[in-house]
Structure 1
Amino acid sequence: MGWLRAGVRAAVLIPVIVICLLLMVLGNTLFERVFFKQSRPLTPYLTVFVCRMFLWVTGMRYARRGRRMDRRGAVVANHSSWLDIFALNAGKRIYFVSKAEVRGWPGIGWLAWATGTVFIARDPRAARLQQAVFEDRLLAGHKLLFFPEGTSTDGMGVLPFKTTLFQAFFSDELRHEMHIQPCTVVYHAPEGEDERFYGWWGEMGFGPHLIKVLAARRQGRVEVIYHAPVRVDAFPNRKSLAAHVEEVVRSGMPPGRQ
């Protein structure tokens, strides 16, 4: 029965994802880039639709708390699973920041590119170019989202935030314009399952984990908690900013996971 549930859900989701991604590529390539350049006012709504459809088809309950930031800036969140993409995109038009290697992954890399992901190389020699990309996207009004933990976890806690990407917001062009909104993503496992059911970490394979989620008879729920945004220029440097938002993100976790 688990395989049957997974097959039925996949049969519903695959056509929706393929059609919407084709519309994204065509819309961005033939329309938005011509008339709006980087602002992309239309195609992000397709991403939101696909993510909400995924949660609805799988049966995962979704709850959102707090007010989504309407100011210019970025969102930072804890990272527990590939499901974060659906949970975070379902409630807000955002663009993920990902390591450059993802762009070369079969299938996933193309999907990430189509949805406007910003790819970051770990090469220090590319720092200046990456800074320019950040500035262009942020000043175009894009809400960028990145995971400062640097890796995904089992969802039972929050790792210390890495500060590297925060430096981009302290440039002369951005510092007085940008806000950062901390966001906590909390997964609650289906009844009777391990609390880490939705966590995807370490050497876990994507395929088996995807099938496990699609095959589940009962689904759990995910909470997305938006905390109050802070001004970048309220902090003297990247380390103090990263420490503050890390503390806020951790405060949104259930007591046993803090």
Structure 2
Amino acid sequence: MGSTDRINGFNSAVALKAPVAACATAEIVLAGEQSIDGVSLVDGDRVLVTQQSNPVDNGIYVVTTSNWSRAKDFNGHRDAVKGTRVAITDGEIYAGYEAQLTTENPVQIGASELTFVLLLILDPNDADAVRTVAQNISSIQSASDNAALAQQAQEGAEAAAADAQTAKAGAVAAKEAAETAAASIDPALYRKTADQIETADIANSAVTTDKVEDGAITQNKIDPSVQLGGPSLGSNSIIRTNGTTIDEDITIPAGTNGMSAGPITIAAGRTVTVEGTWTVVGG
């Protein structure tokens, strides 16, 4: 038969254990008098530990001023089974709860990983207790919601930072591409003034009829110093015209032929030197 104890109850009972004063809400040091869940625990108090990093260390302990020991009803291989319960009498969060052991059988204290689920046990006629527990649940839920929102905000900030980094990389790449393109352009070809364009800059047959829009080149766009023949008349320039007065010195080189429609007047002080052939029609 099992032995009995005023504090620890029936040592061999496994369904229910003597109540504990508080339940740890986080990992704690298993030594010394301390405050847990708002309860100031002193030597001799029973406490339920459920949050240790090594679940083997969870269970019911008795508070001492030095290192704690497991309670006598929760320190043997036959002291607990899956479903064993213990009531929690005090605490800002867990007062009025029962903790139920969820570890699979066989449960061996000191060897098995001990896990608990907390069950809310309330007297429906105790309005203050019901209200307090409801407020505690609301606080826990709010903390959970705030943590979730904080996580979402952090993830959003990280995504925004990644997008900004990508955009920055794209801008750098675009700048480098523009600089490369600019470096490949020969400034000498694109910075010449009107009097610097040379024959070598224009390939043979580069300028054709279909590349010059009608009316694109007009008389007022041609430097007056450039002497042009008279205008062409009729479709397909069927009639070519020329001036009637020569007001400059002209030499017709040897081996070339020149032709004008007459009559032609050579202005005073001007000469026409004919080394090749010059034909005046109608002169």
TM-score, normalised with respect to structure 1: 0.20
Q: Which has the higher contact order (CA 8 A, sep 6+)?
A: 1
Answer 1 or 2: which has greater helix percent: 1
Q: Which has the larger radius of gyration?
A: 2
